[in-house]
């Protein structure tokens, strides 16, 4: 199986370098010919692991190349997913599979609606990576990736490539439950870390605020048919806060670095779903308003 990877950022580069290292055929898809030229000038992707940098000359194309794509890893941010996949939709084969690495929810359905013939496979990852240069990624936190197809529980044969590449993963029939649970954890933690300008552990000083959000999040999860994802949510949020006390949440990092957040696919999505079900979630709604005001005051997008 030949992998094409669209989105040469942190996670896309991390996957590409490890697949290439395991001799799995992989091609990076870059936004345009200018990006392709600058990639080729650098000679490939650099992966930094435990302070050690290795260069992988992964082949690359621009999205307007015409060769067919059978297996695509979509590794851009949730707010870019639809447009990015549209740029290569005409290249997807009739039996194409598309792995969706986006955090939060909402973008997966939008992509699937654009690609009615493709098998869309959402993924949820706890791996951590960041860019410290163009086409250069630091593997900052070992984690695990869950993948699944909500419409078809049969695992794809190419999971063996992930095994060979040392990408820790699991095929799950309940990927939606996984995504909802991670979304709920993110909503209970990330916006508050931005508003209180603190590390995750700083939320230990705001137990009532966190507990109230968990209660409303559980209500929304039940309404959308995800009771398992609601189980012991408050306890799990406390566990994550303790386990990651010294870290800044991904949303805090985005805001601190002046980057657009994925708010519409996280807290924004939960509030929109609650509204669709006529479910009042005043604390989540107020949190969203405060977060949007904070982003706006910093000149960042509120969507």
Which residues of the chain form contacts with ligand KPL (CB under 6 A)?
185-186, 189-190, 200, 240, 244, 249-250
Catalytic annotation, pick one of 35, 77, 178, 182: 182
DSSP letters of 286-298? HHHHHHHHHHHHT
Decide: 148 and 171 in contact? Cβ < 8 Å: yes
Q: Give counts: helices (H), strands (E), the chain.
A: 12, 12
Alpha-carbon torsion (222, 225, 228, 234), positive or negative: negative
Q: Which does 185 bind (CB under 5 to 8 A by kind): ligand KPL, ligand NAD, none?
A: ligand KPL
In the bound complex, what is the minimum distance in angstroms from residue 277's beta carbon to ligand KPL? 24
- First-to-last C-alpha distance (Å) of the chain: 37
Q: Which stretch binds ligand NAD (CB under 6 A): 99-107, 111-119, 149-157, 236-244?
A: 99-107
**One character per residue 114-153, x = contact with ligand NAD (rule: CB under 6 A):** -----------x-xxx-x----------------------
**64/228 Cα distance (integer angstroms):** 43
**253/247 Cα distance (integer angstroms):** 10
In the bound complex, what is the minimum distance in angstroms from residue 186's beta carbon to ligand KPL? 4
Verify binding: residue 11, ligand NAD, rule CB under 6 A. yes
Q: Which does 102 bind (CB under 5 to 8 A by kind): ligand KPL, ligand NAD, none?
A: ligand NAD
Contact with ligand NAD (CB under 6 A) among 4, 5, 8, 229: 8
Q: Which does 240 bind (CB under 5 to 8 A by kind): ligand NAD, ligand KPL, none?
A: ligand KPL
Q: Please name every residue paired with 180 in a beta bridge, in sequence order, or none if there are none.
A: none
Catalytic residue list contains 77: no
Q: Which does 131 bind (CB under 5 to 8 A by kind): ligand NAD, ligand KPL, none?
A: ligand NAD
**182/187 Cα distance (integer angstroms):** 9
The CB density around residue 225, as the number of other CB atoms within 10 Å, is 11
In the bound complex, what is the minimum distance in angstroms from residue 241's beta carbon to ligand KPL? 8
DSSP letters of 213-260? HHHHHHHHHHHTT-HHHHTTHHHHHHHHHHHTTTSPPHHHHHHHTTPP
Pairing verdict, β 128-133 and 69-74: unpaired
Verify binding: residue 206, ligand NAD, rule CB under 6 A. no
Element (H, E) at 35: helix 33-42
In the bound complex, what is the minimum distance in angstroms from residue 188's beta carbon to ligand KPL? 7
For ligand KPL, which is the closer residue by CB, 71 or 194?
194
Q: Which residues are catalytic?
A: 182
Binding site for ligand NAD (CB under 6 A): 6-12, 31, 63, 75-78, 80, 83-84, 87, 101-103, 125, 127-129, 131, 262
């Amino acid at each position: 199986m030949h992998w094409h990877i669209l989105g040469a950022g942190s996670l896309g580069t991390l996957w590409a370098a490890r697949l290439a290292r395991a001799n799995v055929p992989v091609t990076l898809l870059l936004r345009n010919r200018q990006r392709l030229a600058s990639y080729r000038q650098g000679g490939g992707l650099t992966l930094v692991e435990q302070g050690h940098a290795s260069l992988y000359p992964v082949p690359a194309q621009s999205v307007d190349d015409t060769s067919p794509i059978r297996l695509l890893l979509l590794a851009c941010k949730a707010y870019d997913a639809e447009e990015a996949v549209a740029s290569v939709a005409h290249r997807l084969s009739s039996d194409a599979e598309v792995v969706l690495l986006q955090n939060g929810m909402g973008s997966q359905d939008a992509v699937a609606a654009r690609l009615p013939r493709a098998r869309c496979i959402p993924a949820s990852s706890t791996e951590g990576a960041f860019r410290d240069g163009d086409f250069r990624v630091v593997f900052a936190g070992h984690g695990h990736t869950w993948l699944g197809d909500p419409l078809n529980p049969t695992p794809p044969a190419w999971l063996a490539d992930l095994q060979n590449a040392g990408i820790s993963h699991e095929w799950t029939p309940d990927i939606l439950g996984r995504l909802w649970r991670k979304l709920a954890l993110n909503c209970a933690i990330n916006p508050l870390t931005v508003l209180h300008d603190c590390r995750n552990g700083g939320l230990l000083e705001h137990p009532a605020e966190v507990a109230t959000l968990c209660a409303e999040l559980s209500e929304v999860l039940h309404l959308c048919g995800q009771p398992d994802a609601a189980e012991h949510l408050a306890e799990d949020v406390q566990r994550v806060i303790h386990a990651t006390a010294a870290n800044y949440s991904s949303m805090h990092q985005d805001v601190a670095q002046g980057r657009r957040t994925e708010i519409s696919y996280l807290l924004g999505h939960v509030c929109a779903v609650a509204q669709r079900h006529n479910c009042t979630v005043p604390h989540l709604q107020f949190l969203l308003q405060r977060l949007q005001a904070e982003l706006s005051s910093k000149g960042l997008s509120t969507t």
